[in-house]
C-alpha cells in the first residue's frame, strides 16, 4: 500500500520528494545536516533535564541577586492560566473574531498597567525593560525632534548598552546626571546642568538601580524642559504614587516582577505606557475596544498604521513578535493578588529590604544600606574586604550573594547590590548572615 506521502505526490504527478526540490540549484544544495540523529522524547527529556540539573536554582540555593529581575512567589493559578493552550498556542490576534479571549485579556493588561502608572494608554509589551527604554528615547525624539536624552549615572549597564543600540539610527546623544552620594537618588544640581535646549527627554528611575525611591519627582518634573520618561517597577507602584501624577509623559519598566519567572534572564516583559496625546507616536501593538456586527462589545488590535506591517520603514518601531504571554501572566498575577495582595507584597518587599540591610549592617566589616532612605527590594552593601572574596565564601556556604558593583561604580568602593523578596525564609537570611560573618 502506498504511503500518504506517495499518494500525495502521485496526485500531483510527481515521483519523489526530491522532485519538490528541483528548483534549488545544485551548487547551493546540501545533503542533510551535520548534526546528530534524532532521539525519542524520553531520551531528550532525560538528557536536557540532566544538563539543567547542573544549574543551581533558588530552590536549593538562596539567591540575593536582583538588579531588575526578582525571584517573586508566583501563585500556581498564574501558570495554570498561561498554560491554557488556547492562549499559548495562538498567534498574534489579527483575526479578532476568534481571538476575543486573548484580546480582552490584553486589554485588561493594558488597563492594569495604566492604573499602576497613571498613564492613559499602554501597549501589549516590549521585549524587556531595556528595549522599552530604548523605544521611549526614540519616541521622545519623534515627538519633539530634539536630540539629547538625559539619563542617570545610576543606570544598569545593560540598559545603557541597549539604549545606545536603539538610538544609533537617529544618532541621539546621551547626557548623564549624577546621583547624590548620601541618598543615592538624582543629584538635582547635576540634573540641572545636564538639561538644555536640545533635551528630548529626561529619564529617571524609581526605584533606581540602588533600590532607592526617587523622592523628588515633582522637582525633577519642573527641571525637565520637555518630556519626562519614568522607569518604574510595577510592584512598587502598588503603594507609590503613579508617575502620571507627577506629570510623566512616558512610563517604562521591567515587568518581570509581575508574574514572570527569572528564566535565566528571558523571556521578560517591557512595560510601555504613555499619555493619550502621545498615543499615535507610541511603538508596539495595542488593543482597542469596539463592537461586533450585532452590537456586542468586542476587542481588536488597533492603530496598526503605526506598525511595521503597514507603515514599513516609517513605522514607530520594527517590533512584531513581542512578549504577549508575559502580559497574560502579568494580568493574571495582578488579578489573583488583587489590589490588597499587590499592596501587601509591595510593602513586604520594602520592609524586608530594610530589615535585611539592618542585619547585614550588624555584621562586622559590612555597611548597609550605603544610601540613606527607603529601598524597594534591594540596597547597596559596602564590604571592608574585596567583595569577590566574600562572594566566594558565600557560594561555599550555599548562598548566592548580591551583584558586585565595583566594576561599574568604582567610586563606591567594594560594594554589591543585595536583593530580597517574599520568597526568602528566616533560615535563608540566617545562612546569608552566617556566610557574611565567615567571609569578612
Partner 1 sequence: MSYRQAYYDEPLLFEKKGNAVEPADLSDVPQSLRRESLALPNLAEHEVVRHYTRLSQMNFGIDTGFYPLGSCTMKFNPKFTEELARLPEVARVHPDQDPSTVQGALRILYELQELLAKISGMDAVTLQPAAGAQGELLGLLLARAYHQDHGDGRRNEVILPDTAHGTNFASAGMLGFHVKELPSADGRVDLSALKRAVNEKTLALMLTNPNTLGIFEDRVVEIAQICHEAGALLYYDGANFNAILGKTSPGKMGFDITHFNTHKTFTTPHGGGGPGAGPVGVKKLLEPYLPVPAVTFDGTRYALGWDRPKSIGKVRAWLGNFALLVRAYAYILGQGSDGLTGITERAVLNANYLRSRLQDHLPVPFSGLRKHEFVASGAPLKAKGVRTVDIAKRLIDHGFHPPTVYFPHLVDEALMIEPTETETRETLDAFAEALIRITREDPAVLKSAPHNAAVGRVDEVRAAREPILSWRMLKDSAAR
Where in 381-400 is the site for partner 1 (CB under 8 A)? 391, 395, 400
Side by side, the strands of the sheet bearing 121-122 are 121-122, 270-274, 250-254, 227-232, 199-206, 148-152, 173-177
Region binding partner 1 by CB under 8 A among candidate stretches 60-68, 144-152, 192-200, 223-231? 60-68
- How many angstroms separate the CA atoms of 394 and 380, rounded? 17
Cβ 285 to partner 1 shortest distance, Å: 7
- How many angstroms separate the CA atoms of 188 and 214, rounded? 11
Any contact of residue 174 with partner 1 (CB under 8 A)? no
The DSSP call for residue 313 is G
Any contact of residue 177 with partner 1 (CB under 8 A)? no
Q: For residues 193 and 309, which CB has a smaller minimum distance to partner 1 in the complex?
A: 309
Q: What is the dihedral of CA 307, 158, 153, 131, to 10 degrees?
A: 10
CB atoms within 10 A of CB 327: 30
Tell me how many residues contact partner 1 (CB under 8 A): 192
Cβ 321 to partner 1 shortest distance, Å: 4
Cell 514599513, residue located: 312
Grid cell, residue 119, equals: 498613564
Region binding partner 1 by CB under 8 A among candidate stretches 153-161, 192-200, 225-233, 427-435? 153-161
Cβ 311 to partner 1 shortest distance, Å: 7
- How far is the CA of 439 from the CAs of 116, 240, 249, 366, 412, in angstroms? 41, 36, 46, 10, 20
Q: Which of 298, 406, 433, 434 binds partner 1 (CB under 8 A)?
A: 298
Q: Which of 1, 2, 35, 364 binds partner 1 (CB under 8 A)?
A: 35
Residues 124 and 327: beta-carbon distance below 8 Å: yes
Any contact of residue 203 with partner 1 (CB under 8 A)? no
Any contact of residue 277 with partner 1 (CB under 8 A)? no
Q: Which of 2, 40, 364, 426 binds partner 1 (CB under 8 A)?
A: 40
Residues with Cβ within 8 Å of residue 262, at least 6 apart in sequence: 58, 69, 70, 71, 256
Any contact of residue 374 with partner 1 (CB under 8 A)? yes
List, in sequence order, every residue forming a beta bridge with 416; answer none if it has no partner: 381, 404
Q: 329-348: which residues touch partner 1 (CB under 8 A)?
A: 331-332, 334-336, 338-344, 347
Any contact of residue 73 with partner 1 (CB under 8 A)? no
Any contact of residue 323 with partner 1 (CB under 8 A)? yes
Q: Which of 1, 2, 291, 364 binds partner 1 (CB under 8 A)?
A: 291
Cell 492603530, residue located: 303
Q: Which of 326, 370, 381, 390 binds partner 1 (CB under 8 A)?
A: 326
Q: For residues 34 and 426, which CB has a smaller minimum distance to partner 1 in the complex?
A: 34
**Burial tier of 238 (Cβ tally within 10 Å: 0-12, 13-18, 19+):** buried
Any contact of residue 59 with partner 1 (CB under 8 A)? yes
Cβ 261 to partner 1 shortest distance, Å: 4
Any contact of residue 351 with partner 1 (CB under 8 A)? yes
Any contact of residue 425 with partner 1 (CB under 8 A)? no
Q: Which of 2, 36, 364, 426 binds partner 1 (CB under 8 A)?
A: 36
Cβ 347 to partner 1 shortest distance, Å: 6
Q: What is the dihedral of CA 217, 133, 345, 85, to 10 degrees?
A: 150
Any contact of residue 15 with partner 1 (CB under 8 A)? no
Q: 216-275: which residues touch partner 1 (CB under 8 A)?
A: 216-218, 237-242, 254, 261-268
- How many angstroms separate the CA atoms of 350 and 378, rounded? 9
Q: For residues 193 and 265, which CB has a smaller minimum distance to partner 1 in the complex?
A: 265
List, in sequence order, every residue forming a beta bridge with 127; answer none if it has no partner: none
**Pairing of the two strands 403-404 and 270-274:** unpaired
Amino acid at each position: 500500500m502506498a504511503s500518504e506521502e506517495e499518494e500525495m505526490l502521485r496526485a500531483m504527478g510527481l515521483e519523489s520528494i526530491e522532485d519538490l526540490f528541483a528548483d534549488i540549484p545544485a551548487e547551493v544544495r546540501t545533503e542533510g545536516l551535520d548534526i546528530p540523529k534524532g532521539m525519542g522524547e524520553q531520551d531528550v527529556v532525560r538528557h536536557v533535564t540532566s544538563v539543567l540539573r547542573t544549574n543551581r536554582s533558588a530552590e536549593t540555593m538562596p539567591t540575593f541577586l536582583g538588579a531588575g529581575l526578582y525571584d517573586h512567589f508566583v501563585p500556581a493559578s498564574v501558570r495554570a492560566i498561561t498554560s491554557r493552550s488556547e492562549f499559548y498556542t495562538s498567534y498574534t490576534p489579527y483575526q479578532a473574531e476568534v481571538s476575543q479571549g486573548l484580546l480582552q485579556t490584553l486589554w485588561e493588561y493594558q488597563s492594569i498597567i495604566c492604573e499602576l502608572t497613571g498613564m492613559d494608554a499602554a501597549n501589549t509589551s516590549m521585549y524587556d525593560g531595556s528595549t522599552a527604554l530604548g523605544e521611549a528615547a526614540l519616541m521622545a525624539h519623534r515627538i519633539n525632534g530634539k536630540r539629547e536624552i538625559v539619563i542617570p549615572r545610576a543606570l544598569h549597564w545593560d540598559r545603557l548598552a541597549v539604549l545606545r543600540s536603539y538610538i544609533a539610527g537617529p544618532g541621539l546623544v546621551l547626557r548623564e546626571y549624577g546621583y547624590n552620594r548620601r541618598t543615592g537618588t538624582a543629584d538635582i544640581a547635576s540634573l540641572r546642568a545636564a538639561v538644555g535646549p536640545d533635551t528630548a527627554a529626561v529619564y529617571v528611575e524609581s526605584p533606581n538601580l540602588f533600590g532607592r525611591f526617587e523622592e523628588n519627582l515633582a522637582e525633577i518634573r519642573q527641571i525637565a524642559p520637555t518630556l519626562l520618561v519614568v522607569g518604574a517597577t510595577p510592584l512598587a507602584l502598588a503603594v507609590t504614587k503613579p508617575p502620571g501624577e507627577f506629570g510623566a509623559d512616558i512610563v517604562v519598566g521591567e515587568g518581570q516582577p509581575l508574574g514572570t519567572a527569572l528564566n535565566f534572564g528571558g523571556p521578560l516583559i517591557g512595560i510601555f505606557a504613555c499619555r493619550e496625546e502621545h498615543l499615535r507616536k507610541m511603538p508596539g501593538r495595542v488593543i482597542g475596544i469596539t463592537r461586533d456586527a450585532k452590537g456586542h462589545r468586542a476587542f481588536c488590535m488597533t492603530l496598526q498604521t503605526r506598525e511595521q506591517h503597514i507603515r514599513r520603514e516609517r513605522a514607530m518601531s520594527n517590533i512584531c513578535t513581542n512578549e504577549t504571554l508575559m502580559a497574560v501572566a502579568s494580568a493574571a498575577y495582578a488579578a489573583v493578588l488583587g489590589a490588597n495582595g499587590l499592596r501587601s507584597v509591595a510593602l513586604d518587599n520594602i520592609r524586608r529590604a530594610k530589615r535585611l540591610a539592618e542585619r547585614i549592617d550588624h555584621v562586622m566589616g559590612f555597611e548597609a544600606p550605603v544610601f540613606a532612605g527607603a529601598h524597594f527590594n534591594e540596597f547597596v552593601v559596602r564590604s571592608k574586604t574585596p567583595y569577590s572574596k566574600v562572594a566566594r565564601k558565600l557560594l561555599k556556604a550555599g548562598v548566592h550573594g548580591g551583584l558586585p558593583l565595583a566594576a561599574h561604580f568604582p567610586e563606591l568602593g567594594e560594594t554589591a547590590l543585595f536583593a530580597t523578596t517574599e520568597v526568602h525564609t528566616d533560615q535563608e537570611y540566617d545562612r546569608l548572615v552566617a556566610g557574611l560573618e565567615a567571609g569578612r
